[in-house]
Structure 1
């Protein structure tokens, strides 16, 4: 008789924690690609020539490259072992960052930023599938919430580090730091990559077309995109609103962000417990409604002509708490609904977030000078669409609890 196939055992807790920490580092470095550079953008025309408008392309082309990278790595990651793919992307990210530090002109820097954006997308695409393979369903949901908590610190802390780097080493310093860290992480993943699980599509028949025609996937992916998009649109517009019609300062914006991020972190880290007690669907819906209630209160306060910063910050907290509750189970259920196509599913969810944020920000841009109410109205409209996705699209069978939802997802594969 042939020998029985080896039985796969779940990874040890220590290995899972170490692997998660490595994935967080890779993802954070990709997220920092914009925020670290942000303080240096005004200085680029004087250093490299060109105009202020061209300098803004340093940000825009990175975002465009990220969008391309999401689709590209979603497809490649669904077909091949994600570990060497992550190493390759980190090497490309590091090399393009170092080349950007040596860019002779603003045009060259803009082109290199596109390559940076492409490479930066990889970790965000492959990390969720690896996390799912490392933990039990409830543990994976908790890990996704923790990762989201850590990642939420990047937009707040990276610009501060970027200012220090600009003062210390000029506009090149942020690119040099990113390049060195990316290459160091590439070496670490190459040497210690065995702690990461090999993840790729589990059966044939997967494609972006299959996902895009899957209404259950869209229930969670689109509602996630509109929920996070509404939050980002509001945050992106608040510096103008605060310093303009509300008569505040950028210090007020930082205070708002710190309170909001703290609230999000707390909510995201209790989400898995609530899912274990009440089920995924009630937590997703409840969190979405809590966010919408916070936005409605902000809208009403803006319509009433309110200008008290303490009130504005206070009403911002349930908005953040709601997404903190619905974010981890919403993302996890989107992966479940993909039937094992985690890489493409992650890419599409992030694309939906980017598209909603870009469209909402463009819609709100001419309105932010008019005060709090118009900005809150745009964000509220996006939140309503997210609720409609939950109301109109079919749910994952058996997703009443994390464990039942996981069983349904496994069965769907």
Structure 2
């Protein structure tokens, strides 16, 4: 059992490598035009390219998982991510860095695909719930802590040090996994398909609403370093404070979410969290349209967005897995894919107007939140599906 928890720690380390690709690099983005040429809009594509590459990696590793041993893919992807990170550190132009970031994102996607299945293979049901809770807690802290570490690395050794550290972490985790024998092989049942899930309105209700609430938050986070530094003149410290406050409130909300679900039901908590996040995004946009630039106000308005995500996140993701009809791996991969695809598209759409301040960033975030609300209002949920099945069973004539 101790060995299983050690392996879990390394699996968590592998998923953190993927998260580092955005959050650790964020503080370096505003200075990339001076270091490599280009302009702020192209610098934003350094983030979008990584997320876009991760989208391709989710699908690619999902397909390869039926043919290649999970442990080989897991360790191999970490080694490839390390090489891609080193190549990023050696880039001499913004265009080269954008291309290499897409490769880096693709290589680092495997842990997110295989982590849920690996956890299920190592633990019984009760321990798996606890292990997934550990994974989620650490992953929720990474966006708050990685920008702080990224800012320190940027000050210590310039933008290249951020990528060199990513390479070192990926190599260490891969080496330790190899030393421990690697994660267990996950057996594939060969049932279901991505197409079937994409045609299921119940699954789409939970998966798309979950993805777009998170993607709306990410688009805002991806844009604000440049807005704070280049438009508001506030410096990276203001961004770090905003992130720390947001993640802290997310953790609190996520920890009380299960209690609220037990009292009020999953659907009410999901709806309340979604409305809260949308209200925060609307307040951000209205404040920006009014000309507001005070970082303390922007940070305060960021709190309800994070709180809403924290409330709806655990039950929303769990219901998306339930709605995948036992096809847990593909269901989880699609939720992550929706998050990354939406974040990449939103970041790319905002990039040409990034120097106009908070307005375009907040507007794109709000658009995602409104679509998430639309999914909850228009698509059927698990309760509605169950009621419909019960109605059909009652109305079906009994056999003679």
Structure 2: runs of 5 or more not aligned:
387-400
Quote the RMSD (CA, aligned, Å). 3.7
Cα offsets for 1:188-234 (capped at 9, x unmatched): 2233356x4543432x3422222222222211111111111111122
Aligned pair partner of 1:254 in 237, 240, 244: 240
Moved more, 54-63 or 377-386: 54-63
Is it true that 1:201 corresponds to 2:183 in the alignment? no
Is it true that 1:393 corresponds to 2:385 in the alignment? no
TM-score by length of 1: 0.77
Aligned pair partner of 1:346 in 323, 326, 332: 332
Whether the 8 Å CA contact 1:246–1:307 is kept in 2: the answer is yes
- Using a 3 Å threshold, how does the CA distance of structure 1 residues 140 and 395 change in structure 2: closer, same or farther? farther
Cα offsets for 1:16-51 (capped at 9, x unmatched): 64443222211111221344445566887898xx64
Residue 165 of structure 2 corresponds to 177
Structure 1: runs of 5 or more not aligned:
1-11, 401-413
1:395-410 matched pairs, under 5 angstroms? 395-396=381-382
Cα offsets for 1:134-191 (capped at 9, x unmatched): 5677875665455344324434433443454455555554444333322221222233
1:159-308 matched pairs, under 5 angstroms? 159-166=147-154, 168-169=156-157, 172-193=160-181, 196-202=183-189, 204-239=190-225, 242=228, 248-302=234-288, 306=292, 308=294
TM-score by length of 2: 0.79
Aligned residues: 384
CA distance in 2, matches of 1:58, 1:302: 25
Residue 389 of structure 2 corresponds to none
1:12-411 matched pairs, under 5 angstroms? 17-37=5-25, 51-52=37-38, 59-77=47-65, 81-101=69-89, 112-133=100-121, 143-144=131-132, 146-166=134-154, 168-169=156-157, 172-193=160-181, 196-202=183-189, 204-239=190-225, 242=228, 248-302=234-288, 306=292, 308-365=294-351, 372=358, 375-396=361-382
Whether the 8 Å CA contact 2:30–2:226 is kept in 1: the answer is no
Deviation at 1:107, TM superposition (A): 7.0
Moved more, 140-149 or 378-387: 140-149
CA distance in 1, matches of 2:356, 2:31: 30
CA distance in 1, matches of 2:53, 2:195: 22
Deviation at 1:258, TM superposition (A): 1.2
CA distance in 2, matches of 1:74, 1:313: 37
Deviation at 1:86, TM superposition (A): 0.7
